[in-house]
Amino acid sequence: MAQGARDRVSGAGEVPDGGTPAAARTPAAGGGPQEGPAAGRRAVEATWRIESARIVGALARYTGDLALAEDVASEALAEALVSWPRDGVPRDPTAWLLATGRRRAIDAFRRRAGRDVRYAAFARDLGEGGAHAGAAHSGGDHPDLLWDPDRIDDDKLALIFTACHPVLSKEARVALTLRVVGGLTSEEIARAFLVPTPTIQARITRAKKALGAARVPFEVPPAAERAVRLGSVLNVLYVIFTEGSSASAGGDWMRTDLAREAIRLARVLSRLVPQEPEAASLLALLELTAARFPARTGPDGEAILLADQDRRRWDTAAIRRGRAALARAVAAGRGLGPYGLQAAIAEQHDVAASVEDTDWARIVRLYEALGRVAPSPVVDLNRAVAVSMASGPGPALEIVDALAAAGALAGSYLLPSVRGELLSRLGRVDEARRELELAAQRCGNERERAVLESKAAALGEPSG
């Protein structure tokens, strides 16, 4: 979403199958009997969080089966949770997981069809993982070893396009991509879409079965098919970035690793489809929003809202990149779409010297245009924030009350958080406190909840 409502004025020895010799492992940190295993488990968790999409993507490329790739990757993860705390962390944890997953894939094909041609091809390719995990190098630079992060056939990008195949519903495409590429849990995805967790789990399961039944190839689609699938891909990257820029749950205000990954993929996508202005617009939006990341948290990770940020800490290089991407979108001459309009709003924030110097009237007009192009209650709520800055809290409260009367954003913390702010500015302190307390109760992010609780407490005890 745009930032108005939330930024909110995330010894040598035997080698076990798939494993690494003890000499090639890093002893677990610490000397105590409990600390070593704990360090091994932390290493598994960290590696999986950072590299899961790359691992699943590579395995999907090798197997041609996304469901099988995720299954064998999960088996490799389970083996690591046993092996690493016991034997130590491999010198290249990602390669260990990849090699183990590939061996599990070979086992699966062996069970399915015996030693057929496909199995033999897999066995010949084992040099990639083995070279890193302790096996002898076969010599030469195997092409699979060249992990160029921005190559056009990037496994992660191919993974997104596969997950966004037209055979799937839009909701299934987004949920599946967030799961296998973004690394989000079903619970996190459910919160992002305000639906029950079992609904998301069912979507993901059905999506993987549908891809398998349709024999969807694991690849970046040819140019003739990209336009059909581009909109869903852009939406997926947008939602991933939103979760990273303002985490829906947990103890971190932001998950910058997730946001940075969305930016990297947006850059690759923009180069892949340079003629598509909305791809450039999305990249502009992400860059312009991420430019404020350095000032959005304090020394202890506490949330710092827009009005309190030290703008000297903003990333001016990211602002320049974002404005250049937005200029490319404008130059296409087709008018700005949803991402372009949000990028233009983010640009207004980034170029202003302060909250007071921001061109709020222009931001209101941009939100009005956005509401016509992509109407949603969240857009209207963000427009209300801008109206409050341009024209005062009274007119803004009318917009918010209309949303509440229509039952929009029911159960979300966003509406009561904005309504509480407006009521406070209007001097309706008791009502404001109740709204902010309700928002805090509904907020899943600990850091943001603390901000809301602090605002409610600052209004004092209830009167009477």
Buried b (16+ CB within 10 A) or exposed e, 368-378: ebbeeeeeebb
SS (H, E, C) 91-105: CCHHHHHHHHHHHHH
Task: Tell which wins on pLDDT, 452 or 109.
Answer: 452
Percent of the chain past pLDDT 70, that is, above it, reads 82
pLDDT at residue 206, as a whole number: 94
Residue 380 corresponds to which tokens in the numbers above? 């209207």
Tell which phi-psi region holds residue 297, choosing left (phi > 0), alpha (psi between -120 and 50) or beta. beta
The CA-to-CA distance between both ends of the chain, in Å, stands at: 39
Q: Has residue 57 got a pLDDT over 50?
A: yes
Q: Has residue 32 got a pLDDT over 50?
A: no
* Pairwise CA distance, residues 282 & 440, whole Å: 31
- The residue written with tokens 């086992």 in the block is 107
Task: Output the CA–CA distances (angstroms, integers) from residue 353 to 7, 180, 255, 387, in the order listed.
Answer: 17, 40, 27, 19
Query: Nearest to residue 155, comparing CAs of 229, 219, 234?
Result: 219
Ordered DSSP codes for 52-110: HHHHHHHHHHHHS-HHHHHHHHHHHHHHHHHHHHHH-EESSHHHHHHHHHHHHHHHHHH
Task: Tell which wins on pLDDT, 228 or 105.
Answer: 105
Burial of 151 (0-12, 13-18, 19+ CB in 10 A): exposed
For residues 384 and 418, the answer to whether their CB atoms sit within 8 Å is: yes
Residue 346 carries which side chain, given as an amino acid letter?
A: A
Query: Nearest to residue 369, comparing CAs of 336, 332, 327, 322?
Result: 336
pLDDT at residue 126, as a whole number: 53
Task: Tell which wins on pLDDT, 22 or 305.
Answer: 305
* Pairwise CA distance, residues 385 & 399, whole Å: 10
Write down the H helix ranges in 214-313: 223-245, 256-272, 277-290
pTM: 0.70
Average pLDDT over residues 329-350: 96
* pLDDT averaged over every residue in the chain: 83
Task: Tell which wins on pLDDT, 228 or 377.
Answer: 377
**Strand-pair partners of 26:** 89
Q: What Rg value do the Cα atoms of the chain yield, rounded?
A: 24
* Pairwise CA distance, residues 266 & 25, whole Å: 36
Percent of the chain past pLDDT 90, that is, above it, reads 49
Q: Which of 18-27, 54-63, 229-238, 247-256 is predicted least confidently?
A: 18-27
For 288-312, the pLDDT digits (tens) are 999 999 999 999 899 999 999 999 9
pLDDT at residue 114, as a whole number: 53
* Pairwise CA distance, residues 53 & 33, whole Å: 32
- List, in order of start, the domains of the chain with CATH numbers: 22-133 (no CATH), 359-464 (1.25.40.10)
Task: Output the CA–CA distances (angstroms, integers) from residue 253 to 279, 300, 305, 403, in the order listed.
Answer: 27, 11, 11, 27
pLDDT at residue 457, as a whole number: 95
* Pairwise CA distance, residues 306 & 195, whole Å: 29
Residue 143 corresponds to which tokens in the numbers above? 């092409």
pLDDT band of 45, cuts 50, 70, 90:
confident
Average pLDDT over residues 21-47: 60
Task: Output the CA–CA distances (angstroms, integers) from residue 40 to 32, 45, 57, 93, 112, in the order listed.
Answer: 13, 9, 24, 11, 34
pLDDT at residue 239, as a whole number: 85
Range with top average pLDDT, 10-19, 113-122, 411-420: 411-420
Residue 13 corresponds to which tokens in the numbers above? 């020895």
* Pairwise CA distance, residues 293 & 330, whole Å: 25
Would you give the distance in Å from CA 418 to the centre of its chain? 25
Average pLDDT over residues 6-25: 35
pLDDT at residue 124, as a whole number: 56
